[in-house]
Amino acid sequence: YTLHQLFGYHDKDGFRTVNKVVVTNLELGKGSNMGAIRERVRSVNLLVTDGAN
């Protein structure tokens, strides 16, 4: 899974604006002209906690 910003997407009625941070699997966009998100990722930031609260 990936945590990312999703601005919007195209469907049969036009462009839909989401403009939120979402958690999706890396197959989001599979079958679209742009392709799956896993094929479009340019950089990754890994967040690690030390477990201490």
Residue 53: band (very low, low, confident or very high) from pLDDT cuts 50, 70, 90: low
Domain assignment present for residue 45? The answer is: no
> Domain of 17?
2-40
Domain assignment present for residue 27? The answer is: yes
Residue 46: band (very low, low, confident or very high) from pLDDT cuts 50, 70, 90: confident
pTM for the structure as a whole: 0.62
Domain assignment present for residue 24? The answer is: yes
Domain assignment present for residue 50? The answer is: no
Domain assignment present for residue 47? The answer is: no
Report the number of distinct structural domains present in the chain: 1
pLDDT for position 11:
86
For residue 42, the one-letter residue type is R
Domain assignment present for residue 26? The answer is: yes
Domain assignment present for residue 35? The answer is: yes
User: For 17-22, which contacts have Cβ atoms below 8 Å and span 24 or more sequence positions?
Assistant: none
